[in-house]
Amino acid sequence: MKRLLSCPRLSAPFRRFVRREEGGGGVLEFVVMLPMIMFIFMASAEAGIYTARQILLDRAVDLTMRDLGLGNIPNPTHDRIKAEICDNVPALPDCDANIRVELQPVSTTTWNLPTNAATCIDRAATVQPALSFNPGIGNELMLVRVCVIQDAMFPGAGIGRGLEEADGQVGYRIISVSAFVNQPT
Protein backbone atom coordinates (compact mmCIF):
# COMPACT_ATOMS: atom_id res chain seq x y z
CA MET A 1 0.00 0.00 0.00
CA LYS A 2 2.82 2.38 0.88
CA ARG A 3 4.45 1.63 -2.45
CA LEU A 4 1.20 2.36 -4.24
CA LEU A 5 0.86 5.79 -2.58
CA SER A 6 4.47 6.69 -3.36
CA CYS A 7 3.71 6.55 -7.09
CA PRO A 8 2.71 10.15 -8.00
CA ARG A 9 0.50 9.18 -10.92
CA LEU A 10 -1.67 6.83 -8.81
CA SER A 11 -1.76 8.83 -5.59
CA ALA A 12 -2.49 12.27 -7.07
CA PRO A 13 -6.29 11.74 -7.38
CA PHE A 14 -6.43 10.37 -3.83
CA ARG A 15 -4.51 13.35 -2.44
CA ARG A 16 -6.73 15.79 -4.32
CA PHE A 17 -9.81 14.07 -2.83
CA VAL A 18 -8.45 14.32 0.72
CA ARG A 19 -7.49 18.00 0.36
CA ARG A 20 -10.80 19.13 -1.13
CA GLU A 21 -12.85 21.42 1.07
CA GLU A 22 -16.11 21.27 -0.84
CA GLY A 23 -17.99 19.26 1.79
CA GLY A 24 -17.59 15.87 0.16
CA GLY A 25 -15.32 14.68 2.97
CA GLY A 26 -18.29 14.23 5.31
CA VAL A 27 -19.69 11.48 3.14
CA LEU A 28 -16.95 9.10 4.23
CA GLU A 29 -17.69 9.64 7.92
CA PHE A 30 -21.40 9.20 7.26
CA VAL A 31 -20.88 5.94 5.39
CA VAL A 32 -18.65 4.60 8.17
CA MET A 33 -20.90 5.68 11.05
CA LEU A 34 -24.33 4.83 9.61
CA PRO A 35 -24.12 1.04 10.18
CA MET A 36 -23.01 1.55 13.78
CA ILE A 37 -25.80 4.04 14.47
CA MET A 38 -28.39 1.73 12.90
CA PHE A 39 -27.11 -1.22 14.96
CA ILE A 40 -27.38 0.80 18.17
CA PHE A 41 -30.88 1.98 17.19
CA MET A 42 -32.09 -1.57 16.44
CA ALA A 43 -30.53 -2.99 19.63
CA SER A 44 -32.14 -0.24 21.72
CA ALA A 45 -35.52 -0.73 20.09
CA GLU A 46 -35.37 -4.52 20.66
CA ALA A 47 -34.40 -4.07 24.32
CA GLY A 48 -37.20 -1.54 24.81
CA ILE A 49 -39.81 -3.81 23.22
CA TYR A 50 -38.63 -6.77 25.32
CA THR A 51 -38.82 -4.70 28.53
CA ALA A 52 -42.29 -3.36 27.70
CA ARG A 53 -43.58 -6.86 26.94
CA GLN A 54 -42.10 -8.17 30.23
CA ILE A 55 -43.79 -5.43 32.25
CA LEU A 56 -47.13 -5.90 30.49
CA LEU A 57 -46.99 -9.69 30.99
CA ASP A 58 -46.24 -9.25 34.71
CA ARG A 59 -49.21 -6.91 35.03
CA ALA A 60 -51.53 -9.27 33.14
CA VAL A 61 -50.47 -12.22 35.32
CA ASP A 62 -51.03 -10.18 38.49
CA LEU A 63 -54.51 -9.08 37.37
CA THR A 64 -55.51 -12.61 36.36
CA MET A 65 -54.14 -14.19 39.54
CA ARG A 66 -55.97 -11.61 41.65
CA ASP A 67 -59.24 -12.62 39.98
CA LEU A 68 -58.39 -16.31 40.36
CA GLY A 69 -57.45 -15.96 44.03
CA LEU A 70 -60.68 -14.09 44.78
CA GLY A 71 -62.73 -16.78 43.05
CA ASN A 72 -63.89 -14.51 40.21
CA ILE A 73 -62.93 -17.13 37.60
CA PRO A 74 -65.26 -20.11 38.05
CA ASN A 75 -63.93 -23.55 37.09
CA PRO A 76 -60.46 -22.38 36.05
CA THR A 77 -58.76 -24.42 33.33
CA HIS A 78 -55.43 -23.96 31.62
CA ASP A 79 -57.08 -22.58 28.48
CA ARG A 80 -59.30 -20.20 30.46
CA ILE A 81 -56.36 -18.78 32.43
CA LYS A 82 -54.34 -18.43 29.21
CA ALA A 83 -57.21 -16.53 27.62
CA GLU A 84 -57.57 -14.25 30.67
CA ILE A 85 -53.86 -13.42 30.68
CA CYS A 86 -53.81 -12.77 26.92
CA ASP A 87 -56.88 -10.53 27.20
CA ASN A 88 -55.04 -8.42 29.79
CA VAL A 89 -51.86 -7.95 27.73
CA PRO A 90 -52.25 -6.16 24.38
CA ALA A 91 -48.59 -6.19 23.30
CA LEU A 92 -48.01 -9.92 22.80
CA PRO A 93 -48.75 -10.98 19.22
CA ASP A 94 -50.22 -14.47 18.90
CA CYS A 95 -50.31 -14.78 22.69
CA ASP A 96 -52.73 -17.74 22.88
CA ALA A 97 -50.49 -19.94 20.72
CA ASN A 98 -47.21 -19.02 22.47
CA ILE A 99 -48.07 -19.08 26.18
CA ARG A 100 -47.77 -21.79 28.87
CA VAL A 101 -49.16 -21.45 32.38
CA GLU A 102 -48.07 -23.58 35.35
CA LEU A 103 -50.15 -23.36 38.51
CA GLN A 104 -49.41 -25.44 41.58
CA PRO A 105 -49.87 -25.26 45.35
CA VAL A 106 -46.89 -24.70 47.63
CA SER A 107 -46.79 -26.50 50.97
CA THR A 108 -46.44 -24.05 53.86
CA THR A 109 -44.87 -26.73 56.04
CA THR A 110 -42.03 -27.82 53.74
CA TRP A 111 -41.83 -24.75 51.41
CA ASN A 112 -40.69 -26.99 48.57
CA LEU A 113 -40.58 -24.92 45.41
CA PRO A 114 -40.03 -26.31 41.90
CA THR A 115 -36.35 -26.67 41.08
CA ASN A 116 -36.78 -26.78 37.31
CA ALA A 117 -37.07 -23.72 35.09
CA ALA A 118 -40.43 -22.52 33.82
CA THR A 119 -41.59 -24.61 30.88
CA CYS A 120 -42.14 -22.82 27.59
CA ILE A 121 -43.81 -24.12 24.48
CA ASP A 122 -41.78 -25.83 21.81
CA ARG A 123 -42.99 -24.30 18.56
CA ALA A 124 -41.45 -27.15 16.56
CA ALA A 125 -43.34 -29.89 18.44
CA THR A 126 -46.90 -30.85 17.59
CA VAL A 127 -47.61 -32.16 21.10
CA GLN A 128 -46.58 -30.17 24.17
CA PRO A 129 -45.53 -31.85 27.43
CA ALA A 130 -48.08 -31.86 30.26
CA LEU A 131 -47.79 -29.16 32.88
CA SER A 132 -48.83 -28.99 36.49
CA PHE A 133 -52.08 -27.04 36.60
CA ASN A 134 -53.86 -27.26 39.94
CA PRO A 135 -56.00 -24.25 40.91
CA GLY A 136 -55.90 -25.31 44.58
CA ILE A 137 -58.40 -24.85 47.39
CA GLY A 138 -59.19 -22.07 49.88
CA ASN A 139 -56.33 -20.71 52.05
CA GLU A 140 -53.74 -22.47 49.89
CA LEU A 141 -50.57 -20.71 48.72
CA MET A 142 -50.30 -20.96 44.94
CA LEU A 143 -47.29 -20.52 42.66
CA VAL A 144 -47.86 -19.51 39.04
CA ARG A 145 -45.22 -19.49 36.32
CA VAL A 146 -46.04 -18.13 32.87
CA CYS A 147 -43.78 -18.37 29.84
CA VAL A 148 -44.40 -16.69 26.49
CA ILE A 149 -42.23 -17.06 23.39
CA GLN A 150 -42.01 -13.94 21.25
CA ASP A 151 -40.18 -13.32 17.99
CA ALA A 152 -37.44 -10.71 17.83
CA MET A 153 -38.09 -7.69 15.63
CA PHE A 154 -34.40 -7.38 14.72
CA PRO A 155 -32.89 -10.87 15.08
CA GLY A 156 -29.44 -9.73 13.97
CA ALA A 157 -28.97 -6.85 16.41
CA GLY A 158 -28.62 -6.52 20.18
CA ILE A 159 -30.34 -9.18 22.27
CA GLY A 160 -31.81 -10.67 19.11
CA ARG A 161 -28.34 -11.89 18.12
CA GLY A 162 -27.96 -14.31 21.02
CA LEU A 163 -31.39 -15.89 20.87
CA GLU A 164 -31.95 -19.60 20.40
CA GLU A 165 -33.65 -20.78 17.26
CA ALA A 166 -36.92 -22.66 17.63
CA ASP A 167 -38.54 -24.18 14.55
CA GLY A 168 -36.39 -21.98 12.31
CA GLN A 169 -37.54 -18.78 14.01
CA VAL A 170 -35.59 -16.72 16.49
CA GLY A 171 -37.54 -15.97 19.65
CA TYR A 172 -37.04 -15.00 23.25
CA ARG A 173 -38.71 -16.23 26.41
CA ILE A 174 -40.63 -13.85 28.62
CA ILE A 175 -41.19 -15.46 32.02
CA SER A 176 -43.38 -14.15 34.80
CA VAL A 177 -43.55 -15.75 38.25
CA SER A 178 -46.08 -14.86 40.91
CA ALA A 179 -47.67 -16.24 44.05
CA PHE A 180 -51.03 -15.70 45.69
CA VAL A 181 -53.25 -17.20 48.37
CA ASN A 182 -56.65 -18.57 47.42
CA GLN A 183 -59.34 -16.89 49.47
CA PRO A 184 -61.45 -19.16 51.67
CA THR A 185 -64.73 -20.25 50.15
Q: How far apart are CA 131 and CA 154, in angstroms?
A: 31
Residue 171 binned pLDDT confidence (cut-offs 50, 70, 90)? confident
Q: How far apart are CA 156 and CA 173, in angstroms?
A: 17
Angstrom distances, CA of residue 118 to CA of 43, 146, 147, 149? 26, 7, 7, 12
State the pairing for strand pair 141-151/99-105. Answer: antiparallel
Q: How far apart are CA 8 and CA 10, in angstroms?
A: 6
- pLDDT tops 70 at residue 58: yes
Pairwise pLDDT comparison (59 vs 164), residue with the higher score: 59
The mean pLDDT of the chain is: 79
Query: pLDDT tens digits, residue range 107-123?
Result: 888 888 877 778 787 77
